[in-house]
Amino acid sequence: MKIAVVGATGLVGTKMLEILEERNFPVTELIPVASSKSVGKVIGFKGKQFVVTSPEEALNQRPHIALFSAGASTSKEWAPRFAESGTTVIDNSSAWRMDKNIPLVVPEVNASVLTKENKIIANPNCSTIQMVVALSPIYIRYGIKRLVISTYQSVTGTGAKAVAQLMSERNSQHVTEKAYPYPIDLNVIPQIDVFVEDGYTKEEMKMINETRKILGDEKIAITATTVRIPVTGGHSESVNVETFMPFEIDDIRSLYNNTPGTILKDNPKELSYPMPIDAHNNDIVWVGRIRRDFSQPNSFNIWIVSDNLRKGAATNAVQIAEYLINQRIV
């Protein structure tokens, strides 16, 4: 099983390598790939050293699966070439997510859509992944009419430059290269990605469009506000959910006793609720603060937290690859 990791030296690529090793993924040959400035570097994996190579050289080695996390432009250029050569590409960028011919997959929710014909598979946006894992059992049981989403997202979602900016500001050091137009430490920035014409950001539109595609329901009414906050542990989301069917709050809570990948942490009397510090460096989608919205029929609020580099990116991609192997699709 030849596995290429394209973008192997970046934040998510590094995490992909870590998770492949951690989950004992059946890698017989690893092909780490990065841009020209990183070609020739040596990285460690399972106690061995591997030399970072170029996309062209990796393509010639014909990997079975290529995990891409090197940005949309790289994916647009190279994913079709890998796919044409027979490699199954799992792409973490935004390049293919809304292509109607490309499946957008969260394994716990819709892995069943995958077939051998799918040579490019899109990994959803980090904030979308954790939300649909938490909301999928609600959708199945009660139907979802409307979602009002507010996110509180880690700087790790932007990348290493953003983490460096936060830490430099926190330590009162000069910021040599800014990821954000404003300070992020002791601040909140109500903008993730660029603005589109209607005043929403691309991140907000990703959550709206990707959620509908993954759940297979274009009729869900969704609005979102995405916000960057000065944390590194993971993304947090406040979601107001309106269902078609009536429910009991205790029944909503009980769903998470049997939902793969989720843990309920919801005991206000003991001040128990999910926080980024809980999610850091694990693959759990934490849910809590579940309470009825008395202002609207069939509505409730839920708080969702997960590590955006792991379940929100790298782990989800590796889980897709595991599904492909287990189902003999690759």
* SS (HEC) of 240-272: EEEECCCCCHHHHHHHCCCCCCEEECCEHHHCE
64 noted as active-site residue: no
Look up 235 and say whether it is catalytic.
yes
Please give the C-alpha separations between residue 58 and each of 7, 27, 30, 62, 68, in angstroms, as whole numbers: 12, 15, 10, 7, 12
Of the listed 64, 174, 235, 280, which one is catalytic? 235
Helix ranges (H only) for the chain are: 11-22, 55-60, 72-84, 107-110, 126-142, 160-170, 202-215, 249-255, 276-279, 315-326
Which of these, 176, 135, 180, lies nearest to 155 by C-alpha position? 180
Instruction: Give, as one character, the DSSP assignment of residue 195.
Output: B
Query: Which residue matches tokens 């935004």?
Result: 94
How far apart CA 327 and CA 321 sit, in angstroms, is 10
Q: Which of 64, 126, 174, 280 is catalytic?
A: 126
Q: Do the strands 144-153 and 221-228 form a parallel or antiparallel pair, or are they unpaired?
A: parallel
Phi, psi of 290 (to 5 degrees): -80, 120
Residues assigned a catalytic role: 126, 235
